């Protein structure tokens, strides 16, 4: 564990040289992503390696392809070219339920019947473990209890999902994904519509998961400061290509903010990484 | 196979969790309506009975516990000679009509509920998705040209419904079939099939056949007897059983395509299997009663408002409310303009339309489950 942290902190470029497959849990090669209805390639990326047991944040401006990349990693979008490997196998080789036991994904917006209780929602997370005729096993129950506890929604258990606030809803859905009990977790902008308190709750849950259960987390984040604070590893996307990767302190620089995000900002590294945005660089033309 | 070994340890909480007081109320209420409607249907008519006589005949132990009688009803043996006129009227004419109503009501309601889950749209029903018209077309063709095949009518009708639905699915398909596209495609296919049906009427020379075809199009229980019960019962039992088995799959479908896929569901497979069950339900109903409208649309809606959107209690509620509504409506259809009998579809349409309008005005986001 410590050894790995050392290598990653060195430099983002060090990632390229690392070929130890046991450290890499999700990888892509020669990937080219486009939506079936159009020819436009949204993401193209030669190689991408997500280190095992770390929190990797995907950041980038709107439309840079973060969510699209996440869709391909979670097998929701078939790549036009290239392959995605999860745990050493291509995603196509997995049986669907088996894949859902390996990798969980929480999408940006979720819908459910309004009268569904939080507890029942979380139980749906056990779908990939249950056969067609199976009832609920003790294992399912234990996983659900743990998920409810981890996401901190114990007090909401009996409430209807439709009555929850946006933040509580997100935590309830997070609990459902946690009940899937996967080693890899993909989160698509889990904090975007939440108030500060719930943003922190979500990110703290992510942290706790990663530390206590060694779960690899790939999270798309809108907020660079948040990404820098909570992730071990940043991946910056611009126009569908990986612009930079590495440890937050090396990646988040004033020039990156200017070049990729088109903002003039001051970055402060001590005592901790802080970003002070000054003004937009792409004003009205 | 740890999944098998733990199956016995099903937690009690979840096994019976869905039996809520509201579901029990719905079931008891439906049984109440059904009983009152049954008594009314049995006692009133050209051959009048008092309520007490009606009760006594319906609960007559000589019929109720007679193997010979049930062989007649369910296996089609000739009528026992010892039946009195009263017994004959009640047991051979009025009760089977009610039973057909029960089967049709349950089938239509469950079918509607299934399609509402598949499309995640409260407005979906076998009619909206073109299935009824597909099944209907086959039924008309069979009755007109191949009357000898009438005994397997539900199967043939299912095939017609399935063809229509596959067509709808194919038209709607574009990287998966979205609920809105499905509904739109269903309306298109349904309209075309309906036109062919209407067109076929012009080739019927016999006026009586035209009349019966028209009655059939409106959806009617007039003259239904044990033959129709025998025709629909096996398909109904099969379809309803299967529907209850897939209730959890339907619940997961309600979470949306994205989530269902993330949970490892083979969405198209489940949608297709569920559709097959829904088509079978609808076809069994249409084969015996014709195109009774609005039941498949409104009953799931009413039940959802009462017991919630969990599909296990929802489907069970539908199995009770559907029959109550249809048999209740048939009392009106048969007795309102006595001696003229109306097709029950006229009544369900007259009741269902306003109910639906009322819903439209009540809810802002009608359509989403």
Tokens of B272: 């297709």
Q: Check whether A217 has a pLDDT greater than 80.
A: yes
Tokens of A91: 């995603």
For A180-205, what is the HEC assignment? CCCCEEEEECCCCCCCHHHHHHHHHH
Q: Are residues A134 and A73 in the same domain?
A: no
Best to test chain B binding among A70, A104, A113 (most B CBs inside 10 Å): A113
For the ranges A171-175, A197-201, B163-167, B351-355, the lowest mean pLDDT is seen at: B351-355
Verify whether the Cβ–Cβ distance A96 to B266 is below 8 Å: yes
Q: What is the helix (H) or strand (E) element at residue B279, kind and residue range?
A: helix B267-289
Best to test chain B binding among A136, A139, A144 (most B CBs inside 10 Å): A136
Q: What is the helix (H) or strand (E) element at residue B195, kind and residue range?
A: helix B179-201
Q: Are residues A136 and A245 in the same domain?
A: no
Taking the C-alpha atoms of residue B312 and residue B302, their distance in angstroms, rounded to an integer, is 15
Asked if the structure places residue A216 within a domain, the reply is yes
Q: Are residues A170 and A188 in the same domain?
A: no
Contact list in B for residue A110 (CB cut-off 8 A) is 255-256, 258-259
This prediction's pTM:
0.86
Q: Could you report the per-residue pLDDT of A154-171, keeping only the tens digit for each?
A: 999 999 999 998 889 999
Touching check for B10 and chain A: CB below 8 Å? yes
At B154, give phi and psi (nearest 5°): -60, -35
**Which of B9, B15, B252 faces A124 most closely, judged by CB atoms?**
B252
Q: For B338-343, what is the mean pLDDT?
A: 84
What is the tally of structural domains in chain A?
2
Touching check for B15 and chain A: CB below 8 Å? yes
In chain A the beta strands, taken as DSSP E runs, fall at 24-34, 41-51, 55-59, 81-86, 89-90, 103-106, 184-188, 216-220, 233-238, 241-246, 263-268, 274-280
Touching check for A120 and chain B: CB below 8 Å? yes
Q: Are residues A65 and A188 in the same domain?
A: yes
Taking the C-alpha atoms of residue B127 and residue A100, their distance in angstroms, rounded to an integer, is 35
Q: Are residues A34 and A172 in the same domain?
A: no
Contact list in A for residue B259 (CB cut-off 8 A) is 107, 110
List residues bridging with A246 in a β-sheet. A234
Asked if the structure places residue A280 within a domain, the reply is no
Asked if the structure places residue A5 within a domain, the reply is no
Is the CB of residue B364 less than 8 Å from the CB of residue B69? no
Is the CB of residue B193 less than 8 Å from the CB of residue B139? no
Q: Are residues A82 and A189 in the same domain?
A: yes
Q: Where in the sequence is the domain holding A195, given as residue range(s)?
A: 24-87+183-253
Q: Which of A136, A152, A181 is the last residue of a domain?
A: A181
Asked if the structure places residue A4 within a domain, the reply is no
- Whole-number Cα distances in Å, A133 to A143, A207, B247: 19, 36, 11
Q: Check whether A2 has a pLDDT greater than 50.
A: no
pLDDT band, residue A41 (cuts 50/70/90)? confident
**What is the ipTM for the molecules in this complex?**
0.84
Q: What is the model's pLDDT at position B143? A: 78
Q: Are residues A242 and A193 in the same domain?
A: yes
Q: Could you report the per-residue pLDDT of B272-307, keeping only the tens digit for each?
A: 899 999 999 998 898 888 888 889 989 999 999 899
Q: Which of A181, A212, A231 is the last residue of a domain?
A: A181
Q: Which of A181, A204, A239 is the last residue of a domain?
A: A181
Q: For A84-98, what is the mean pLDDT?
A: 90
From chain B residues 128-187, the ones with a CB under 8 A of any chain A CB are 174-175
Query: Taking CB atoms and an 8 Å cut-off, how many pairs form between chains A and B?
Result: 90
Q: For B219-244, what is the mean pLDDT?
A: 90
Verify whether the Cβ–Cβ distance A115 to B308 is below 8 Å: yes
Is the CB of residue B268 less than 8 Å from the CB of residue B117? no
Verify whether the Cβ–Cβ distance B264 to A76 is below 8 Å: no
Q: Could you report the per-residue pLDDT of A229-246, keeping only the tens digit for each?
A: 889 999 999 888 888 988
- Delineate the domains of chain B, giving CATH numbers in brackets: 93-362 (1.10.3470.10)
Taking the C-alpha atoms of residue B206 and residue B127, their distance in angstroms, rounded to an integer, is 28
Q: Are residues A40 and A170 in the same domain?
A: no
Contact list in A for residue B255 (CB cut-off 8 A) is 110-112, 121, 124
Q: Are residues A205 and A154 in the same domain?
A: no
Asked if the structure places residue A105 within a domain, the reply is no
Q: What is the CATH number of the domain that holds A213?
A: 3.40.50.300
For the ranges A140-154, A206-220, B348-362, the lowest mean pLDDT is seen at: B348-362
Q: Check whether A200 has a pLDDT greater than 80.
A: yes
Asked if the structure places residue A234 within a domain, the reply is yes
Q: What is the model's pLDDT at position A283? A: 64
Q: Could you report the per-residue pLDDT of A10-29, keeping only the tens digit for each?
A: 444 344 444 455 688 888 88
Asked if the structure places residue A279 within a domain, the reply is no
At A279, give phi and psi (nearest 5°): -160, 160
pLDDT band, residue B16 (cuts 50/70/90)? low
**Which of B248, B263, B369 faces A128 most closely, judged by CB atoms?**
B263
CB atoms within 10 A of CB A196: 9
Q: Could you report the per-residue pLDDT of B152-185, keeping only the tens digit for each?
A: 777 888 889 889 988 998 898 876 667 678 888 9
Q: Check whether A284 has a pLDDT greater than 80.
A: no
Considering chain B, what percentage of its residues have pLDDT values greater than 90?
Answer: 33
Asked if the structure places residue A276 within a domain, the reply is no
Per the prediction, chain A carries an average pLDDT of 85
How many residues does the structure list for chain A?
285
Q: Are residues A203 and A67 in the same domain?
A: yes
How many residues does the structure list for chain B?
369
Q: What is the model's pLDDT at position A9? A: 39
Q: What is the model's pLDDT at position B5? A: 41
CB atoms within 10 A of CB A165: 11
Q: Check whether B69 has a pLDDT greater than 60.
A: yes
Q: Check whether B7 has a pLDDT greater than 80.
A: no
Q: Check whether A216 has a pLDDT greater than 90.
A: yes
Considering chain A, what percentage of its residues have pLDDT values greater than 70?
Answer: 91
Q: Are residues A188 and A60 in the same domain?
A: yes
Q: Are residues A240 and A117 in the same domain?
A: no
């Amino acid at each position: 564990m410590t050894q790995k942290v050392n290598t990653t902190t060195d430099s983002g470029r060090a990632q390229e040289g690392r070929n130890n497959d046991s450290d890499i849990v999700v990888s892509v090669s020669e990937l080219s992503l486009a939506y079936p209805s159009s020819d436009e390639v949204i993401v193209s990326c030669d190689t991408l390696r997500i280190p095992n047991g770390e929190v990797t944040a995907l950041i980038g401006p709107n439309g840079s392809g973060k969510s699209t990349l996440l869709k391909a990693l979670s097998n929701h979008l078939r790549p036009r070219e290239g392959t995605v490997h999860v745990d050493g196998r291509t995603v196509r080789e997995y049986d669907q339920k088996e894949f859902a036991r390996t990798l969980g994904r929480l999408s940006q917006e979720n819908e459910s019947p309004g009268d569904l209780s939080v507890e029942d929602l979380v139980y749906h997370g056990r779908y990939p473990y249950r056969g067609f005729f199976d009832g609920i096993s003790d294992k399912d129950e234990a996983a659900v209890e743990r998920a409810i506890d981890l996401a901190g929604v114990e007090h909401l258990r009996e409430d209807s999902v439709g009555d929850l606030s946006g933040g509580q809803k997100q935590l309830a859905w997070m609990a459902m994904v946690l009940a899937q009990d996967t080693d890899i977790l993909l989160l698509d902008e889990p904090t975007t519509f939440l108030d500060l308190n719930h943003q922190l709750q979500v990110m703290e849950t992510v942290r706790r998961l990663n530390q206590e259960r060694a779960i690899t987390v790939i999270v798309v984040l809108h907020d660079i400061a948040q990404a820098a604070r909570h992730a071990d590893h940043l991946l910056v996307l611009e126009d569908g290509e990986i612009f930079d990767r590495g440890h937050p302190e090396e990646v988040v620089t004033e020039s990156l903010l200017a070049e990729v995000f088109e903002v003039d900002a001051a970055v402060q590294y001590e005592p901790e990484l802080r970003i002070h945005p000054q003004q937009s660089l792409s004003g009205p033309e | 196979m740890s999944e098998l070994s733990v199956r016995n340890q099903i937690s009690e909480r979840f096994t019976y969790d869905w039996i809520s007081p509201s579901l029990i109320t719905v079931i008891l209420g439906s049984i109440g309506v059904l009983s009152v409607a049954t008594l009314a249907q049995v006692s009133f008519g050209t051959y009048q009975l008092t309520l007490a006589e009606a009760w006594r005949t319906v609960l007559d132990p000589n019929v109720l516990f007679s193997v010979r009688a049930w062989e007649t009803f369910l296996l089609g043996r000739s009528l026992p000679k010892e039946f009195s006129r009263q017994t004959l009227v009640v047991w051979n004419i009025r009760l089977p009509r009610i039973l057909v109503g029960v089967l049709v009501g349950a089938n239509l309601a469950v079918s509607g509920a299934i399609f509402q889950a598949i499309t995640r749209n409260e407005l979906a029903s076998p009619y909206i998705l073109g299935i009824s018209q597909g099944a209907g077309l086959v039924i008309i063709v069979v009755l007109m040209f191949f009357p000898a095949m009438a005994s397997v009518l539900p199967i043939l009708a299912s095939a017609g419904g399935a063809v229509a639905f596959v067509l709808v699915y194919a038209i709607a398909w574009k990287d998966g079939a979205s609920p809105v596209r499905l509904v739109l495609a269903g309306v298109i296919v349904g309209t075309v099939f309906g036109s062919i049906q209407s067109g076929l009427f012009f080739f019927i020379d016999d006026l009586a056949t035209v009349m019966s075809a028209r009655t059939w199009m409106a959806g009617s229980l007039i003259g239904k007897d044990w033959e129709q019960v025998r025709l629909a019962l096996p398909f109904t039992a099969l379809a309803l059983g299967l529907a209850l088995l897939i209730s959890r799959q339907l619940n997961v479908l309600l979470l949306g395509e994205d989530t269902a896929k993330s949970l490892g569901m083979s969405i198209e497979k489940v949608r297709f299997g569920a559709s097959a069950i829904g088509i079978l339900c609808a076809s069994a109903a249409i084969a015996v009663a014709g195109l009774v409208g609005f039941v498949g649309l409104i009953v799931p809606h009413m039940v959802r408002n009462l017991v919630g959107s969990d599909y296990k209690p929802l489907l069970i509620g539908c199995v009770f409310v559907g029959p109550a509504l249809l048999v209740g409506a048939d009392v009106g259809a048969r007795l309102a303009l006595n001696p003229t009998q109306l097709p029950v579809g006229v009544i369900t349409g007259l009741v269902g339309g306003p109910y639906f309008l009322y819903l439209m005005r009540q809810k802002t986001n009608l359509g989403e489950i």
